[in-house]
C-alpha cells in the first residue's frame, strides 16, 4: 500500500500490515529476526563510535556546496563535528581519516522535510485538535528504515504527525544517528513545529469504506467537510487567543501583585499560543489551492504565520499568493492521481513555485522514497528546467530554511555541522550510489563496511535460527512446519 | 516531392496548436493529443542505440508505413522524407513496462468508479483488459512522453484475473492502440498462508493469525486449486472438441462457451501466463503448476526470485521484476536487497525485465527505476535492455518491438541525453511510426499557470 499518503489511511494500512506481519512470522521466528536486527544495530553503533573523535579529510572530490557553487578537485575537512575547511590541498591533521574523493561527489546531507520514519505512532486522530500530542514521545531509534535512509544520503528528517485531523500533533526534527537513542537523534536547535491538515485525509471520505472482515470502520468524526476544517481552525485560535490574553494579563499584573493565581496550563492551547507568538512553526498538509488559500487567510486574520504547506500539490495555481505570504512549500517531485485532490498535481509544481519566489522543497513522506530523494530532485530538471543547484537546493538548504535550522545544516560551508553524503557519481544521476553518509563528523553509513559486515550477519542469523529457543513450537507452523506463515522464509537455494 | 526539412520550430508550432485546443480538458478522461499520420521520416546525425547491436555514434533511421525501414551509419534518405536533424541527440527503441494496468485504473482513492481493474469472482479468463482500457486516461500521455511507447496492461484480482493486452500508448481508440490484444492470461494462484484469489489476502491473514482456521484456509486453497485445474482441463477438452468438429461436421456440434474458449490458447501453451508471485515458495509453486498444466509461465513480481535464480534458469522461466524501488521485506535484509535484484538475475542468466513497480500514474518512473538497478550492479546495456528488448522477448514480440531493427514497429524515442537519466528530455517521440505530440495533462496545466499574473 502507499504508506506515503499517511492520512487516515495509515491507521488501516498499519493494522493490516501488523496482521500481515503476525501471520508471516511465528513468534519464535520474529524473535530471531529482532535479535539479529539488534545485533546488527549494535555493530553499526560500534562502527560509528570508533570514528567519533577523528577528523575526516575528503581529498580531491567534486564538492556541491549548494550555496557556494560546485567546486572541482576540492578537499573538505570535517573536524570537531563541523565542516572546518573547504579548499585545495588541505593538509591532513594528526589522526585524521582520509577519504580519497577522486571521481566522487560530496553534497550536504539530504534533508527530508516530511517523514513518518522511526515513529511508533503517526496519527492521534480521535479529536480534531490534538496539539498536545508529541511525536518526540514515540521515536523508535531502532527502526531499520533509519539505516536505509542513511544509505540514500539522508541525514536530517522532519518527523510529522499524520494528517487525520485539522490540527495535529507536534513534530520532531531528527538527525539519523543510527545506533543512538531517540533523545540523541532529536536536533536540539530545531525550532518546534506542529502539523495542520486540510482536505480529504481530514474529511476521511476515503477511509470509512473498509471491507476487511474483523476490522470495523471508524466512526465519523467532525469535521467531514472543508467548511468544518476552517471552523475547527477558527475555533481553536479564538480559544488560543483568549488563553494567550489570560497569560499576558497575568504576566503583566503579577509583577505588581504576587497574590495573583496564574491561569491553568492548557496542553492543547499552549502550542497554539506559541504559534501566535511565532515560536512554533506550522506545517500544513494541504492539496487543493482553495484550501491552502483558506488557511493563509485565516492565519492572516489571527496573526500567525504558516511556515510550510506540506504536499501543496496544487500550490502552482496560487504560487503568487503563497509567495506573498512568505510561506514555504514542500511537494512531491511527481506523485499524482492517487486520489481526487491529487489529480491536478503536476511535476512542474516546484518549478512554478520557485520562479514565483516560494521557498520550495521536495519530500518523501515515505520510508522507501526517502532513500532516493536525489533522483526525485533530478526529475525537477526535466519538469520545468531547474538548474542542478536549484534541484539540489530542494533536498538540502531549502529544507533547512523551512525547518529553521539553516545555520547548522543544508549546505557545505565552513562552520556548519559536518553532515555530508559522498556519492560515487553526480547524485542527480540514476547511476550514482552513496558511499558514505556522515553526521556531525561521524560516519553513520559506509558502503564498504556494510558489505563487509554481511557475511558476519548472515552467519549470526543462521546460528540464531538454529537455536532451540528460536525453533517454532510443534504444531504451530514456523519455518519447518509447513503451515501458513512458513513460506516466506524458505532457505535460499544458493546459500 | 522535395525533401522537407522538419524544423523543431515547425513541430513546436504544431504541438502548441494542439496544446491550445486541449486546455479546457484538465479533468477525468483527460485528452491526450493525437499522434500524426504514418509518414516517411528520417532521423539523421543521431547517436543510435539499437539495443540488439552495437551503438552507432552517428547514423540515420528511416521510418515509413509505421515500420523501421533502415538503420545505419550510411543510409540513403528517401525523397519526400521529413528529416529530423538529431545531431547531439540519442535515439532509442521505445521502452516497454510489462507490469502495468494502465487505462484500467485512474484514481485509486475516493473515485471507485474510475477503477476497472478486477472483475467479480475468482475465475474470469474471459475478462479482457483490451475491453476495459480507457484510451483517454491521462496516465497514457504522461507515461509516453518519457519514452514508454508500449505496455502490458493487465487485470488483477481473483484467481483467473483475466487477459492482459499489449498496447501502444497512442491512439484515440483501443483498436488503434492494440498490438497484441491477448498478450497473456493472468493467474494469481491462491497462496499458502494467504494472498492471491478472493478469500485470500487480509481474510486469510487474519484467520492464519488466529491459528485455529489455518487448516480451513489450506482446505479452501486446495479446493480453489482443484477448481482451477478442472477449468483448465475442461478448456483443453473444449478446444479439442471444437477442432474435431471443425474437421468433421458429422460430429455432434459442441456448444460454445465463452469462458472455456478464452482459455484454449492458454492451455495449449501458446498464450503465456503471468503468475503474480513474490515469495520463493510461491514462485516455485507457480512454475510447478505451469509445468503440470503445460502452461507457459512468466513470473510477475519476483521479489525473492534472486534467491532461486538457479531454479528459474534451469526451468527457463522469465521474471517481470517489480520491486526495484520497494523497501527490503525483512528487517535484516541488506539495504540494497531489491536495488541489486536485477543484477543478481542477470548474473544467473535468468531472463527478466524491469518495471516501474506501479500500475498506472507512476509508470513514467520506468527509466529511472532501470537506471537505479544499474547503480547497483546491472550493466548499463542490461538496464536498457531490461526495459526494451527484454520484455519484448518475454512476451514473444521481439520480432515486432524492443530494438531498432528493420521491419520492427517504429516505436522510437529521441532524447537530449541518456534515456534512463531522470533529468533527460524527450525531443521527439514516434509510436507506430506516427510523430506523437509531447503535450500532456501536466504540460497543459503548466502552460496555463506558469505565467499567472499576480492579482492586485
The answer, for A55 touching chain B at a CB cutoff of 8 Å, is no
pTM of the shown model: 0.89
In chain A, which residues have their Cβ closer than 8 Å to the Cβ of B216? none
Reading the block at residue A12, the C-alpha cell is 488501516
Count of other CB atoms within 10 angstroms of residue B182: 18
The pLDDT value given to residue A218: 67
Q: Please say whether the beta carbons of A113 and A402 come within 8 A.
A: yes
In chain B, which residues have their Cβ closer than 8 Å to the Cβ of A382? 422-425
The answer, for B105 touching chain A at a CB cutoff of 8 Å, is no
Q: Please say whether the beta carbons of B57 and B50 come within 8 A.
A: no
Beta bridge pairs of residue B28: none
The answer, for A153 touching chain B at a CB cutoff of 8 Å, is no
The helix or strand, by DSSP H or E, that contains position B367, with its residue range, turns out to be: helix B366-375
% of chain A exceeding 70 in pLDDT: 83
Angle at B279 between CA B323 and CA B374, to 5 degrees: 30
Q: Please say whether the beta carbons of A311 and A331 come within 8 A.
A: yes
The Cα–Cα gap between B402 and B92 comes to 9
The pLDDT value given to residue A216: 72
The Cα–Cα gap between A282 and A273 comes to 12
C-alpha pair distances (Å), A282 with each of A277, A342, B78, B280? 12, 22, 64, 47
The Cα–Cα gap between B411 and B408 comes to 8
Residue A483 has pLDDT above 70, yes or no: no
The Cα–Cα gap between B1 and B181 comes to 38
- Torsion (CA) B76, B78, B83, B87 in degrees, nearest 10: 0
Q: How would residue A471 be classed by pLDDT, with cut points 50, 70 and 90?
A: confident
The closest CB to that of B217, out of A375, A484, A487, belongs to A484
Q: Please say whether the beta carbons of A385 and A351 come within 8 A.
A: yes
Residues 199-228 of A with CB under 8 A from B: 200, 205-206, 212-215
The Cα–Cα gap between A458 and A447 comes to 17
Q: How would residue A378 be classed by pLDDT, with cut points 50, 70 and 90?
A: very high
The helix or strand, by DSSP H or E, that contains position A60, with its residue range, turns out to be: strand A56-64
SS3 annotation, A317-371: HHHHHHHHCCCEEEECCCCCCCEHHHCCCCCCHHHHHHHCCCCEEECCCCHHHHC
The Cα–Cα gap between A71 and A74 comes to 6
Q: Which stretches of B248-359 are DSSP H helices?
A: 258-261, 264-267, 280-292, 309-314, 341-347
Q: If you measure CA to CA, which chain B residue comes closest to A142? A: B331
Residue A308 has pLDDT above 60, yes or no: yes
Query: Across the A/B interface, how many CB contacts are shorter than 8 Å?
Result: 209
**Distant-in-sequence, close-in-space partners of B333: CB < 8 Å, separation ≥ 6:** none
The closest CB to that of B107, out of A144, A339, A450, belongs to A339
The pLDDT value given to residue B63: 98
**Distant-in-sequence, close-in-space partners of A141: CB < 8 Å, separation ≥ 6:** A118, A178, A180, A181, A182, A184, A185
Q: Please say whether the beta carbons of B247 and B254 come within 8 A.
A: no
On the CB side of A219, how many CA atoms lie within 13 Å of its CA? 4
Q: How far is A483 from chain B (nearest CA, A)?
A: 7
Contact B425 A382 (CB under 8 A): yes
Reading the block at residue B232, the C-alpha cell is 483448465
Q: Could you tell me the sign of the dihedral formed by the alpha carbons of B25, B26, B30, B35, in that order?
A: positive
Helices (H), strands (E): how many in chain A? 15, 17
Residues in chain A: 495
The Cα–Cα gap between B400 and B423 comes to 29
Contact A352 B442 (CB under 8 A): no
What end-to-end distance do the CA atoms of chain B give, in Å? 55
The Cα–Cα gap between B325 and B331 comes to 16
The phi, psi pair for A215, rounded to 5°, reads -115, 125
Residues 343-382 of A with CB under 8 A from B: 343-344, 346-348, 351-352, 355, 367-368, 371-372, 375-376, 378-379, 381-382
Interface test with chain A among B331, B334, B358, B420, by most A beta carbons within 10 Å: B331
Cis peptide before A394 (omega within 30 of 0): no
The Cα–Cα gap between A232 and A243 comes to 16
The pLDDT value given to residue B192: 78
The Cα–Cα gap between A484 and B203 comes to 13
| pLDDT tens track for A325-346 | 999 999 999 999 999 999 999 9
- Torsion (CA) B160, B166, B169, B170 in degrees, nearest 10: -120
Count of other CB atoms within 10 angstroms of residue B241: 16
In chain A, which residues have their Cβ closer than 8 Å to the Cβ of B365? 334
Q: Please say whether the beta carbons of B432 and B170 come within 8 A.
A: yes
The pLDDT value given to residue A234: 98
Contact A450 B361 (CB under 8 A): no
Residues 416-455 of A with CB under 8 A from B: 428-433, 450, 454
Q: Give long-range contacts, CB 8 A cutoff, 24+ apart: B217-223.
A: B217/A484, B217/B193, B218/A484, B218/B192, B220/B190, B221/B190, B221/B191, B221/B192, B221/B197
Angle at A468 between CA A465 and CA A471, to 5 degrees: 55
Nearest alpha-carbon partner for B69 in B405, B389, B446, B415: B405
Burial group, residue A224, by CB count within 10 angstroms (0-12, 13-18, 19+): middle
Q: Which one-letter DSSP state was computed for residue B105?
A: B
Going residue by residue through chain B, which has 456 residues, state the pLDDT in tens, using 9 for 90 and above: 334 444 444 444 444 334 334 444 444 556 799 999 999 999 999 999 999 999 999 999 999 999 999 999 999 999 999 999 999 999 999 999 999 999 999 999 989 899 999 999 999 999 999 999 999 999 999 999 999 999 999 999 999 999 999 999 999 999 999 999 999 999 999 987 655 554 444 444 554 455 556 788 889 999 999 999 999 999 999 999 999 999 999 999 999 999 999 999 999 999 999 999 999 999 999 999 999 999 999 999 999 999 999 999 999 999 999 999 999 999 999 999 999 999 999 999 999 999 999 999 999 999 999 999 999 999 999 999 999 999 999 999 999 999 999 999 999 999 999 999 999 999 999 999 999 999 999 999 999 999 876 554
Residues 277-316 of B with CB under 8 A from A: 279-282, 304, 307-311
Residues 31-70 of B with CB under 8 A from A: none
The Cα–Cα gap between B7 and B86 comes to 11
Residue A64 has pLDDT above 70, yes or no: yes
Burial group, residue A252, by CB count within 10 angstroms (0-12, 13-18, 19+): exposed
The Cα–Cα gap between B432 and B63 comes to 10
Reading the block at residue A491, the C-alpha cell is 532457505
The phi, psi pair for B102, rounded to 5°, reads -55, 135
Nearest alpha-carbon partner for A155 in A139, A179, A174, A141: A174
| pLDDT tens track for B329-387 | 999 999 999 999 999 999 999 999 999 999 999 999 999 999 999 999 999 999 999 99
Amino acid at each position: 500500500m502507499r504508506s506515503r499518503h499517511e492520512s487516515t489511511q495509515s491507521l488501516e494500512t498499519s493494522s493490516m500490515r501488523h496482521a500481515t506481519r503476525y501471520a508471516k512470522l511465528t513468534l519464535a521466528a520474529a524473535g530471531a529476526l529482532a535479535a539479529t536486527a539488534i545485533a546488527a544495530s549494535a555493530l553499526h553503533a560500534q562502527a560509528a563510535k570508533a570514528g567519533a573523535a577523528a577528523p575526516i579529510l575528503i581529498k580531491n572530490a567534486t564538492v556541491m556546496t549548494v550555496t557556494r557553487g560546485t567546486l572541482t578537485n576540492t578537499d573538505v575537512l570535517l573536524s570537531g563535528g563541523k565542516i572546518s575547511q573547504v579548499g585545495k590541498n588541505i593538509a591532513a591533521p594528526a589522526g585524521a581519516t582520509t577519504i580519497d574523493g577522486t571521481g566522487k561527489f560530496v553534497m550536504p546531507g539530504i534533508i527530508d522535510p516530511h517523514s513518518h520514519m522511526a515513529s511508533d505512532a503517526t496519527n492521534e486522530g480521535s479529536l480534531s485538535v490534538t496539539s498536545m500530542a508529541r511525536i518526540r514521545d514515540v521515536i523508535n531509534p531502532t527502526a531499520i528504515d533509519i539505516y536505509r535512509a542513511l544509505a540514500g544520503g539522508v541525514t536530517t528528517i522532519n518527523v510529522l504527525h499524520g494528517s487525520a485531523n485539522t490540527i495535529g500533533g507536534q513534530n520532531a526534527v531528527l538527525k539519523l544517528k543510527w545506533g543512538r537513542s531517540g533523545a540523541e537523534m532529536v536536533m536540539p536547535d530545531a525550532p518546534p513545529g506542529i502539523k495542520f491538515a486540510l482536505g480529504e485525509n481530514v474529511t476521511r471520505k476515503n477511509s470509512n469504506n473498509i471491507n476487511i472482515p474483523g476490522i470495523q470502520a471508524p466512526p465519523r468524526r467532525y469535521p467531514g467537510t472543508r467548511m468544518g476544517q476552517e471552523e475547527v481552525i477558527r475555533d481553536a485560535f479564538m480559544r488560543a487567543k483568549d488563553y494567550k490574553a489570560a497569560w499576558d494579563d497575568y504576566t503583566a499584573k503579577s509583577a505588581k501583585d504576587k497574590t495573583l493565581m496564574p491561569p491553568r496550563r492548557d496542553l492543547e492551547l499552549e502550542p497554539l499560543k506559541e504559534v501566535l507568538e511565532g515560536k512554533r512553526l506550522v506545517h500544513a498538509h494541504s492539496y487543493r489551492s482553495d484550501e491552502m488559500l483558506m488557511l493563509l487567510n485565516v492565519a492572516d486574520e489571527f496573526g500567525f504565520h504558516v511556515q510550510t504547506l506540506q504536499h501543496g500539490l496544487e500550490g502552482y495555481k496560487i504560487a503568487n499568493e503563497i509567495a506573498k505570504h512568505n510561506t514555504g512549500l514542500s511537494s512531491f517531485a511527481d506523485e499524482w492521481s492517487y486520489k481526487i485532490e491529487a489529480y491536478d498535481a503536476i511535476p512542474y509544481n516546484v518549478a512554478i513555485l520557485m520562479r514565483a519566489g516560494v521557498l520550495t522543497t521536495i519530500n518523501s513522506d515515505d520510508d522507501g522514497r526517502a532513500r532516493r530523494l536525489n533522483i526525485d530532485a533530478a526529475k525537477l530538471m526535466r519538469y520545468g528546467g531547474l538548474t542542478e543547484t536549484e534541484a539540489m537546493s530542494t533536498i538540502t538548504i531549502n529544507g533547512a530554511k523551512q525547518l529553521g535550522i539553516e545555520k547548522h545544516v543544508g549546505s557545505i560551508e565552513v562552520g556548519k555541522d559536518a553532515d555530508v553524503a559522498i556519492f560515487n557519481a553526480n547524485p542527480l544521476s540514476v547511476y550514482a550510489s552513496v558511499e558514505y553518509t556522515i553526521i556531525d563528523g561521524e560516519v553513520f553509513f559506509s558502503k564498504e563496511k556494510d558489505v563487509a559486515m554481511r557475511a558476519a550477519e548472515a552467519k549470526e542469523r543462521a546460528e540464531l535460527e538454529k537455536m532451540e529457543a528460536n525453533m517454532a513450537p510443534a504444531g504451530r507452523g514456523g519455518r519447518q512446519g509447513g503451515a501458513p506463515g512458513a513460506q516466506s522464509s524458505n532457505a535460499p537455494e544458493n546459500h | 516531392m522535395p525533401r522537407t526539412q522538419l524544423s523543431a520550430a515547425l513541430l513546436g508550432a504544431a504541438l502548441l496548436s494542439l496544446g491550445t485546443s486541449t486546455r479546457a480538458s484538465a479533468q477525468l478522461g483527460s485528452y491526450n493529443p493525437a499522434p500524426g499520420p504514418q509518414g516517411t521520416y528520417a532521423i539523421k546525425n543521431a547517436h543510435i542505440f539499437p539495443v540488439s547491436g552495437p551503438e552507432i555514434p552517428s547514423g540515420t533511421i528511416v521510418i515509413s508505413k509505421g515500420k523501421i525501414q533502415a538503420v545505419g551509419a550510411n543510409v540513403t534518405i528517401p525523397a519526400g522524407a521529413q528529416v529530423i536533424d538529431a545531431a547531439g541527440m540519442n535515439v532509442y527503441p521505445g521502452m516497454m513496462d510489462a507490469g502495468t494496468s494502465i487505462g484500467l485504473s485512474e484514481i485509486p482513492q475516493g473515485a471507485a468508479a474510475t477503477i476497472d481493474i478486477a472483475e467479480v469472482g475468482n475465475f474470469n479468463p474471459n475478462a479482457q483488459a483490451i475491453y476495459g482500457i480507457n484510451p483517454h486516461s491521462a496516465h497514457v500521455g504522461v507515461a509516453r512522453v518519457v519514452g514508454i511507447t508500449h505496455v502490458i496492461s493487465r487485470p488483477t484480482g481473483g484467481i483467473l484475473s483475466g487477459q492482459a493486452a499489449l498496447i501502444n500508448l497512442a491512439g484515440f481508440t483501443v483498436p488503434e492502440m492494440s498490438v497484441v490484444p491477448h498478450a497473456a492470461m493472468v493467474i494469481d494462484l491462491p497462496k499458502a498462508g494467504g494472498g492471491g484469489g478472493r478469500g485470500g489476502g487480509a481474510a486469510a491473514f487474519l484467520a492464519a493469525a488466529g491459528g485455529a482456521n489455518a487448516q480451513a484456509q489450506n482446505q479452501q486453497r486446495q479446493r480453489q486449486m482443484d477448481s482451477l485445474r478442472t477449468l483448465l482441463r475442461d478448456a483443453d477438452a473444449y478446444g479439442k472438441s471444437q477442432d474435431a468438429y471443425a474437421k468433421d461436421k458429422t460430429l455432434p456440434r459442441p456448444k460454445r462457451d465463452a469462458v472455456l474458449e478464452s482459455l484454449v490458447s492458454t492451455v495449449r501453451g501458446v498464450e503465456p501466463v503471468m503468475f503474480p508471485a513474490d515469495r520463493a515458495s510461491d514462485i516455485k509453486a507457480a512454475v510447478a503448476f505451469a509445468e503440470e498444466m503445460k502452461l507457459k509461465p512468466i513470473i510477475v513480481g519476483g521479489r525473492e526470485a534472486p534467491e532461486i535464480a538457479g531454479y528459474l534458469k534451469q526451468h527457463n522461466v522469465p521474471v517481470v521484476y517489480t520491486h526495484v524501488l520497494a523497501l527490503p521485506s525483512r528487517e535484516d535484509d541488506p539495504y540494497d536487497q531489491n536495488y541489486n535484484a536485477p543484477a543478481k538475475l542477470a548474473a544467473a542468466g535468468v531472463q527478466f525485465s524491469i518495471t516501474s513497480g506501479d500500475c498506472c500514474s507512476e509508470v513514467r518512473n520506468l527509466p529511472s527505476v532501470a537506471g537505479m538497478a544499474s547503480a547497483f550492479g546491472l550493466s548499463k546495456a542490461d538496464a536498457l535492455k531490461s526495459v526494451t528488448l527484454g520484455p519484448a522477448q518475454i512476451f514473444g514480440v521481439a520480432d515486432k518491438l524492443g530494438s531498432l531493427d528493420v521491419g520492427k514497429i517504429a516505436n522510437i524515442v529521441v532524447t537530449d541525453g541518456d534515456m534512463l537519466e531522470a533529468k533527460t528530455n524527450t525531443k521527439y517521440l514516434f509510436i507506430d511510426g506516427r510523430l506523437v505530440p509531447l503535450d500532456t495533462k501536466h504540460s497543459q496545466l503548466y502552460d496555463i499557470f506558469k505565467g499567472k499574473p499576480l492579482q492586485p
